Structure 1
Amino acid sequence: MMLLDGCFMIEVLRASECSDDYAPNDPVFSSRMNHLRKPYIKRDMLLLENQLPLLVLKALLEVENLGRTDAEYINHLVLSYCGETLRANLSRLASHPLELYRMSLLHKDTIVQVKSPPINETKVIENAVELRESGVHFISNDKYCTSLTDIKFDPKTGRLKLPVLPVHDGTEHFLLNMVAYEQIHVGTGNEITSYIMFMNALIKTADDVKLLQRKNIITNSLGSHKDVVELFNRLPKEVAHDPNDALNKVRFELSEYHANKGNRWLANLRHQYLHSPWMVLSIVAASLVILLTFIQTLYSVLTFHLRK
């Protein structure tokens, strides 16, 4: 079975780059069928229960003896099929496509779980709109090769940097399989699970999705904001929160920032009175009128007393 699946996978990976060797009416590998077969094959390729060891591909390529058979080439071949922009800093051959896909989203080569500094209590953070009302600024971390776990919060400026996540029909399927992979493989880490739990806390209403989409943190291809909300509400079901969550420190800092009444007061001032240039000019003009009136009154009082 692995021999048959391995031969098919090699042919699929190669056909995605060049389909000239097949007849135009080939029902599977013709160039016109590429965009039709790819989503379904990719979906099956990343199913946890369908994982094929990449060592099988390496062995078949070595038997074929027609080109490169090194780990870098095989990793690149698989990732090129999964997505044009996916990269993984792997110095070894990945165990299987799902591990490779997961590493490409994390941009690292490690199976050691990264633990955040110990925090005595786990904080529950508010949704995106509530955090914005307390002065949190959402920033899209759109740098090339940004890890899904590259989430940082600066309590001094209130800036929360989040990676860009494309949301489409396959997003739920891919994330669920990676969560399952993390849950059953000891020592793998919980980075994808941590990210999903964090986004689930941020996204509770359609307004949260609108805010994150406006900030270019989410690109929504599902069509409806409500669909995105339901997606992130379904993902973390029956997944326990890990006290060593890699994002636990960010949660704690966000919770403390939101609890600060001064931050909420300043945020309310900005949203109510400083949200447009015209409002700022109006406030400046009113302040100048008050200041000039005070100076004029003071001058009149001083003049009256000096005349005495």
Structure 2
Amino acid sequence: MGESSWAIDLEKQITTAEVDEEEIKRWVIDLEKNMEEEEMKTSRSIFKVPTQTTLLHKNAYEPNIVSFGPYHYGKSHLQLMETHKKKAVDYFLKNYGKPLNNYVKALEEVDQELRDSYENLDDEWKHREKFLKLMMFDGCFMLKILYEYKETLAKPGSENHDHFNFDPQLCLYIRRDMLMIENQLPLLGLVTLAAVQTGKSTVLFVLSFCYFLKLESNSKNSPYSNYINSTVFAEHTGVLNLPILIMDEITEISFLNLMAFERKAKGMGSAVSSFLAFMGSLINSEEDARFLRSKGIIQSTLGNDKAIVDCIKLLGKDMYFNPHSEMCLTQYRLNQYYLNSIKSWNKRLRDWSSNFMQTYVKNPWTLISLMVAGFVLSLTVTQTYYSIHKPK
């Protein structure tokens, strides 16, 4: 049987087809572009919060007083602080003796890395001069705030270091805004500016993190990575060790943004979300909150125990309990210990009941003796009571 005509035509097309070099070039360019985009994603550290998340907590992700970075820049209700940003730049130029050009050149050298830190920058920030100016003004303002707090730690009660003369309530709002995932500056930008100012690379991460996150563990020297891991259940003693949880006006904002960051950043895991889910399983009522306060585990300035429970429940709307996390394993061990304890008590009860039946019920005379002894004891108690409380 002869070969089908369509098969002959197909073979002819395959053997005689010329390679489309232009198509290959386009394919290579697209591949390289995709690889570059994936590489950029791994360098991103500042993200936008998904719309579905902001709908759950409308006020948790947008700053009230000051903007840092491009996402919220230019909004009308944040203009008050723009004057203070200019003051911060002027302060550094006058007090550190370095010309503005030094700062600009230093930022220009890391311009692309700074841009790559942000997710989905608008087209207006492709203008290099505008972007670097933003990094300069916002970065100097944030550095000034961090330096002033450092002075506060070094000289408690002193107010001479306060260049801005902010009242405590305004400082609380600024601190709150600096916790927001969309309201951040790249650490590289801060270190670059600090290096120009001081002539050396300044370690800012620990200072800013400890100050603004305000999480404290039982060991003051423990880094944050050990904070959650200090939650340990000792099965042989039945003791659950928990870190200190400080709950104040910014606790809700802190944790919501930390959980949002965990979901967006690659390789961050879900330690915070799992920890809060675990705490939520422990705190279901005001009595639970009161008990944890009495043990010093929760230190609260929220006013009452109901506020603690409400905060935990609100955070629960955005929680994800990673089944592979250390917290999930701890909860499993805790639940197993509880179930084993119940089984142990039930076994003791059954053994006691069986022993009682064997000793007293099986022999009727023994049971009768026990009943008589109980009756005599009740009469003795009644007689004693009325001898003390004689009717008038």
Give the TM-score normalised by the residue count of structure 2. Answer: 0.47
Residue aligned with 1:16, SS: helix
Equivalent in 303, 322, 337 of residue 257 of structure 1: 337
Residue aligned with 1:10, SS: helix
2:160 corresponds to which residue? 20
Query: Whose relative contact order is higher, 1 or 2, with alpha carbons under 8 Å and at least 6 apart?
Result: 1
2:177 corresponds to which residue? 44
Q: Does 1:63 align with 2:196?
A: yes
Q: Distance in 2 between matches of 1:76 and 1:142?
A: 17
Q: Does 1:167 align with 2:297?
A: no
Equivalent in 154, 167, 170 of residue 234 of structure 2: 154
**C-alpha displacement at 1:220, in angstroms?**
1.8
Q: Distance in 1 between matches of 2:330 and 2:209?
A: 30
Q: Where does structure 2 lack aligned partners over 5 or more consecutive residues?
A: 1-133, 152-158, 348-392
Residue aligned with 2:169, SS: helix
2:52 corresponds to which residue? none
Q: Does 1:231 align with 2:371?
A: no
Asked which structure has the greater CA Rg, the reply is: 2
Q: Distance in 2 between matches of 1:77 and 1:241?
A: 29
1:78 corresponds to which residue? 208
Equivalent in 258, 264, 267 of residue 187 of structure 1: 267
Equivalent in 212, 219, 223 of residue 143 of structure 1: 219
Structure 2 residue identity aligned to 1:229: V
2:298 corresponds to which residue? 218
Q: Distance in 2 between matches of 1:152 and 1:6?
A: 39
State whether residues 167 and 218 of structure 1, in contact with CA within 8 Å, keep that contact through their aligned partners in structure 2. yes
State whether residues 167 and 220 of structure 1, in contact with CA within 8 Å, keep that contact through their aligned partners in structure 2. yes
Structure 1 residue identity aligned to 2:334: L
State whether residues 203 and 229 of structure 1, in contact with CA within 8 Å, keep that contact through their aligned partners in structure 2. yes
Q: Does 1:196 align with 2:326?
A: no
1:134 corresponds to which residue? none
Q: Distance in 1 between matches of 2:344 and 2:322?
A: 29
Q: Distance in 2 between matches of 1:263 and 1:230?
A: 35
Q: How many corresponding residue pairs?
A: 203
State whether residues 257 and 263 of structure 1, in contact with CA within 8 Å, keep that contact through their aligned partners in structure 2. no
Q: Distance in 2 between matches of 1:152 and 1:81?
A: 25
Which portions of structure 1, spanning 4 or more consecutive aligned residues, are displaced by more than 4 angstroms?
262-266
State whether residues 165 and 217 of structure 1, in contact with CA within 8 Å, keep that contact through their aligned partners in structure 2. yes
Greater fraction helix: 2
1:25-82 Cα offsets, whole Å, 9 max, x none, are x7xx12xx35333211111111000110011112222333x35423x3x224424643
RMSD: 2.7
Structure 1 residue identity aligned to 2:331: R
Structure 2 residue identity aligned to 1:5: D
